[in-house]
Amino acid sequence: MTKINILSPLLADMIAAGEVVERPASVIKELAENSLDAGAKKVTIEFKSGGATYIRITDDGCGMSPEDAGIAFMRHATSKLHDEKGLEAIGTMGFRGEALAAISAVSRIELTTREKGAAEGVKVTVQAGDIVDMSPCGCPEGTTITVRDLFYNTPARLKFLKSDRSEAAACTAAALRCALGRPEVSVKCIKDGEDVFFTPGDGRADSAVYSLLGRDIASSMLPCTGSSDGIEVKGFVSSPALSRGNRSMQYFYCNGRFIKSQLLQSAVEQAYRNTLLTGRYPACTLFITLKTSAVDVNVHPAKTEVRFSDEKKVFDTVYQTVKAALEAETQPLELKISESTQRMVSTPRADFFRSMPAKEYRTEYTRPASAPAAVPTPRREPSYAAPRPTARPSMNEPLTRTGFSPDRTEFSIKNVEKTVESVEKIAALNHRVIGECLNTYILVEIGEELLLIDKHAAHERMIFDRLKAQGRQIMSQTLLTPVIIKPTSEDAELLERNEALLSDLGFEIEPYGADAYAIRALPDDMEVTDAKAAVEEICDKLRRGDIVSADSARDELLHTVACKAAIKAGHRHDIRELERIADAVVAGEVRYCPHGRPISVRLTKNELDKFFSRIV
Ligand code: ADP
Ligand code: MG
Q: Report which ligand 1 atom has the smallest distance to the Cα of 78.
A: 14
From CA 151, how far away is CA 159, in angstroms rounded?
A: 9
Gyration radius from the chain CA atoms: 30
pLDDT at 376 over 90: no
Closest CA to 468 of 602, 333, 202, 273: 273
Per the CB < 8 A criterion, the answer to whether 508 and 485 are in contact is: no
Q: Which atom of ligand 1 is nearest to the CA of 63?
A: 25
Residue 550: per-residue pLDDT: 60
- Looking at the chain, the whole-number percentage of residues with pLDDT higher than 90 is 44
pLDDT tens-digit map of 91-108: 788 877 889 999 999 999
CA of 28 to the centre of ligand 1 (A): 13
The residue-averaged pLDDT of 152-175 equals 91
pLDDT confidence of residue 549: 54
Nearest ligand to the CA atom of 99 = 1
Lowest mean pLDDT among 132-141, 297-306, 363-372, 543-552: 363-372
Pocket test for ligand 1, best of 20, 100, 103, 124 (most atoms within 8 A of CB): 100
Q: Could you list the beta-strand ranges (E) of 48-159.
A: 54-59, 108-114, 121-127, 130-137, 142-148
The pick from 26, 37, 75, 76 for probing ligand 1's pocket by mutation, whose C-beta has the most ligand atoms within 8 angstroms, reads 37
Residues 522/531, Cβ–Cβ less than 8 Å: yes
Q: How does the average pLDDT of the chain come out, rounded?
A: 81
Q: How far is the CA of 155 from the centre of ligand 2 (A)?
A: 25
| d(CA 214, ligand 2 centre) in Å | 29
CA of 208 to the centre of ligand 1 (A): 25
Segment 505-516 mean pLDDT: 88
> What pLDDT does residue 347 have?
39
**Closest ligand to the CA of 143:** 1
pLDDT for 279 equals: 75
Q: Which of 51-60, 264-273, 290-299, 452-461 has the lowest mean pLDDT?
A: 290-299
At residue 81's C-alpha, the angle toward residues 80 and 85, to 5°, is 140
Is the pLDDT reported for residue 285 higher than 90? yes
- Ligand 1 atom showing the smallest separation from residue 97 Cα: 8
User: Looking at the CA of 100, which ligand is closest?
Assistant: 1
- Protein residue with least CA distance to atom 19, ligand 1: 34
Ligand 1 atom 25 nearest Cα: 63
Ligand 2 center to 228 CA (angstroms): 32
For residue 557, the surrounding DSSP H or E stretch is helix 550-565
Encode 402-424: b = buried (16+ Cβ within 10 Å), e = exposed: ebbeeebbbbeeebbeebeeebb
- Nearest residue by C-alpha to atom 23 in ligand 1: 35
Cα separation of 160 and 291, whole Å? Answer: 39
Q: Which atom of ligand 1 is nearest to the CA of 145?
A: 23
Burial 479-497 (b: 16+ CB within 10 A, else e): eeebbebebeeebbebbee
Query: How far is Cα 172 from Cα 551, in angstroms, rounded to an integer?
Result: 41
List the single range of 210-224, 425-439, 602-616 with lowest mean pLDDT: 425-439
d(CA 97, ligand 2 centre) in Å: 6
Among the listed ranges 80-89, 336-345, 450-459, 494-503, which one has the minimum average pLDDT value? 336-345
Q: For residue 255, report the distance from its CA to the centre of ligand 2, in Å.
A: 16
Nearest Cα to Cα of residue 142 among 35, 60, 33: 60
What span, in angstroms and rounded, lies between the C-alpha atoms of 7 and 105? Answer: 14
Q: How many angstroms does the Cα of residue 59 sit away from the middle of ligand 1?
A: 12
Tell me the C-alpha distance between 576 and 43, whole Å: 61
Atom 12 of ligand 1: nearest residue by CA position: 72
* 75 alpha carbon – ligand 2 mean position (Å): 11
Residue 330 neighbours by CB distance under 10 Å: 26
Query: What integer pLDDT is reported at residue 359 of this predicted model?
Result: 32
* Mean predicted confidence (pLDDT) in 249-254: 95
Compute, in angstroms, the gap from residue 269 CA to the centroid of ligand 2. Answer: 32
271 in Cβ contact with 326 (< 8 Å):
yes
Q: Which amino acid is at 380?
A: R
Question: Which candidate, 272, 274, 208, places its Cα nearest to that of 238?
Answer: 272
Q: Cα 293 from chain centroid?
A: 27
Which of 26, 31, 34, 81 best tests ligand 1's pocket when mutated (most atoms within 8 Å of CB)?
Answer: 34
Contacting residues for 430 by C-beta, under 8 A, at least 6 apart? 395, 446
User: Which ligand places an atom closest to the C-alpha of 73?
Assistant: 1
Give the total residue count for the chain. Answer: 616
| Closest-lying ligand 1 atom to the alpha carbon of residue 35 | 23
Q: Can you give the pLDDT at residue 556?
A: 79
Q: Determine whether 239 is exposed, middle or buried from the number of CB atoms within 10 Å of its CB (0-12, 13-18, 19+).
A: buried
For residue 273, count other CB atoms closer than 10 A to its CB. 13
Phi-psi region of 51 (alpha: psi -120 to 50; beta: other; left: phi over 0): left
Ligand 1 pocket, mutate which of 27, 78, 185 (most atoms under 8 A from CB): 78
Q: Which has more pLDDT, 527 or 109?
A: 109
* H-assigned helices in 282-412: 311-327, 339-344, 352-355
* Residue 57 near residue 32 (C-beta atoms within 8 A): yes
For residue 192, how far is the Cα from the chain centroid? 30
For the cut 90, the answer to whether the pLDDT of residue 525 exceeds it is no
| CB-based pocket (< 6 A), ligand 1 | 30, 34-35, 37-38, 59, 61-64, 72, 77-80, 94-101, 143
CA distance 452 to 447: 14
Cβ neighbours of residue 530 closer than 8 Å, sequence gap 6 or more: 564, 565
CA-59 nearest atom, ligand 1: 23
Mean pLDDT along residues 510-535: 89
Judged against a pLDDT cut of 70, whether residue 500 lies above it is answered with: yes
Please check the confidence at residue 361 and state whether its pLDDT lies above 50.
no
Spatial CA neighbour of 60 closest among 5, 117, 142, 128: 142
- Residue 390 pLDDT > 70, yes or no? no
**Distance from residue 6's CA to the centre of ligand 1 (Å):** 27
pLDDT in tens, 190-202: 999 999 999 999 9
Cα-to-centroid distance, 102 and ligand 2 (Å): 10
Q: How confident is the model at residue 423 (pLDDT cuts 50, 70, 90)?
A: very low
State the distance from the centre of ligand 1 to the C-alpha of 232, rounded, in angstroms. 29
CA of 98 to the centre of ligand 1 (A): 9
- DSSP codes, 458-509: HHHHHHHHHHHHT-SS--EEEEEEEEEE---HHHHHHHHHTHHHHHHTT-EE
CA–CA separation, 433 and 583 (whole Å): 9
In this structure, the residue with its CA closest to atom 20 of ligand 1 is 34
Ligand 1 atom at minimum distance from 33 CA: 2
Residue closest to 252 by CA, chosen among 243, 239, 241, 262: 262
Q: What is the mean pLDDT of residues 540-563?
A: 75
Which ligand 1 atom lies nearest to the CA of residue 103?
A: 6
Burial 517-544 (b: 16+ CB within 10 A, else e): bbbbbbbbbbeeebbbebbebbbebbee
329 band by pLDDT with thresholds 50, 70 and 90: low
**What pairs with residue 259 in β-bridges?**
252
pTM (2 d.p.): 0.64
Q: Please give the distance, rounded to the nearest whole angstrom, from the Cα atom of residue 233 to the centre of ligand 2.
A: 26
Among the listed residues 65, 41, 42, 43, the one whose alpha carbon sits nearest the alpha carbon of residue 117: 65
CA distance 242 to 611: 23
Q: Which ligand has an atom closest to residue 33 CA? A: 2
Looking from the CA of residue 142, the nearest atom of ligand 1 is: 24
- Residue 416: per-residue pLDDT: 39
Instruction: Kindly report the protein residue whose alpha carbon is nearest to atom 13 of ligand 1.
Output: 78
pLDDT at 429 over 80: no
Query: Rounded CA gap, 226 and 236, in Å?
Result: 12
> Given a cut of 80, is residue 421 above it in pLDDT?
no
